[in-house]
Structure formats: structure tokens, C-alpha cells
Amino acid sequence: MLQVLISFITNPIIIFIFILDILLIIIYPHFTGFMGEFWVKKQLKKLDKKEYLILNNIMINDNNATHQIDHIVISRYGIFVIETKNYSGIIKGNKYSNEWVQILGRNKYYFKNPLFQNYGHIKSLSNVLNMDEKYFISIICFSNRSQLKLIDVNVINLYILIETIKKYKQPIIENDIYELKKIILQNNIVDGEVRQNHVINIRKKLKEQNELVKNNICPKCGGKLVQKQSKYGYFLGCSNYPKCHYIKNIK
């Protein structure tokens, strides 16, 4: 019996599968970013093509900043700007906090509030299309594997994406939707080098922000950051609150 067990665990194939499993667990969080967009694309195809025009992976330039937008759905009922997050685990956050948290077992991972991120995308699109922000609808779409612990109508799991879009039944847009699609495509950056620079710039900005926070300076308004306490623990908050809502969780 013992011999069978030993020959089983020393079997190269078993060892190989075991190592592959471990690797997949490590790589998975990064790997899924790519998969997420694919699954959202597949869902969006369920919308009526005549009524909803879909654009995927758009990059536009506005005020010398580039914005990478996962998905845009143009319809008479509004322009839906969709930011996808293919995360698993429990997701917590609120409208105002600078960072949200992903809880995976005992580990916590902080990420930028996607509502802020998507608001930046909407602002850039509103400039490009020369349309008021009221015509844009922000949707943050998490994968079905995540459990959302926040209350915001447009922060959703993938399985209600189509239903969420279809809730908007009031025609509010008088422009020709094909014309709007054309303008966005005309402004879409397709140059690989520019797209790569976008990623480099984001990393640089993040580094600069972290540097400011380290020196207790608010990266949003330049105010002083002070340590505050909530029922969840300590955090850094901007001394210009309530004018500035910057918050940084202390890990």
C-alpha cells in the first residue's frame, strides 16, 4: 500500500500537474484581466445590433492624457461606458474612497476606485464628442466570480450587464448614433507605440502619486494627509476634507 502511494507521488506526471496547479494559482490574477474583456465582449453581442453600437478597447487622447476604455455601447438611450474588472473574491468600497479592496481569503489587495477611473473616461469622451456628461452612463462590470459588497446601481456582476443596459428605456440622444461611432473611431489611437506609452505613463504616474503619499501630501489637491480612524481601522485622509475626499488605506 505504502509503495503504491510512494510511486504515485513520485510519478513525474503527477509532479508536473502539481507544479502546473501552483503556477496557475500564482499567474491567475494577471491572466484573467485578458479573459474578462473577452467574456464582456461576448455578452455585449447579445444586444440588438441596430439599436446598440459596440466599441471595444478604445484609446483616446484628451488634454495630453490617454484614456483606455474597455467597452463603449452607443444607443439612443445613452452612451454606456463600461470598465471591466475580472476579479474574484469579495469586493468592498464606496463611491468616495480612493481605493477599493479585494478580499481573497486572508489577503487584501487594494485597487483604484474604478468609478473615478471611469469618470475620467467619460469626461474624455464628452470632450471628443462635444456632448454633455449627462448623456453618458458609467458601468463597472465585475466578473461573476466576485461577490460585491457595495451599493451602487451601476457596479454590477457580468450576469446582469445586458439587463442593466436595457433598464435605460428613455431615448435621450438625438444625434445619429452611427455618426457618434465614427467620431470615436476617428479619435481612436491604433498606433502600437502610443498605446505602449500609455501603459508606461500610468505606471510613472502611480509611482509619483505613491511618492507624494509617502511624504504625507495629498496627490489630489496637494493638501496635507493626516492619520484618521474609522471602525475599519486607520487610514490617511486629506486635511482639506470635505472639499477633498482623498483616502489612502494603511496596509
Which stretches of the chain bind Zn ion, using CB under 5 A?
A: 218, 220-221, 223, 238, 240, 244, 246
Residue 54, beta-bridge partner list:
73
Q: Which is nearer to Zn ion, 78 or 237 (CB)?
A: 237
- Nearest distance in Å: CB 245, Zn ion: 8
Q: Which amino acid is at 239?
A: S
Give least dist CB 46 to Zn ion, A. Answer: 42
How far, rounded to the nearest angstrom, does the alpha carbon of residue 221 sit from its chain's CA centroid? 23
Q: How far is the CB of 145 from Zn ion (least distance, A)?
A: 34
Residue 121 CA, distance from chain mean position: 11
Closer residue to Zn ion (CB): 87 or 246: 246
Nearest to 44 by CA among 32, 57, 58, 56: 56
Q: Report, in Å, the least distance between residue 213 CB and Zn ion.
A: 11
Query: Which helix (H) or strand (E) is 211 found in, with range?
Result: helix 192-214
The three-state (H, E, C) secondary structure of 17-38, written as one string: HHHHHHHHHHHHHHHHHHHHHH
- Rounded least distance, CB 247 to Zn ion, Å: 10
Residue with cell 486572508: 106
Q: Considering beta carbons, is residue 71 or 248 the nearer one to Zn ion?
A: 248
Check: CB of residue 81 under 8 Å from CB of residue 131: no
Report the residue number, 77 or 246, with the smaller CB distance to Zn ion: 246
Closer CB to Zn ion, residue 57 or residue 94?
Answer: 94
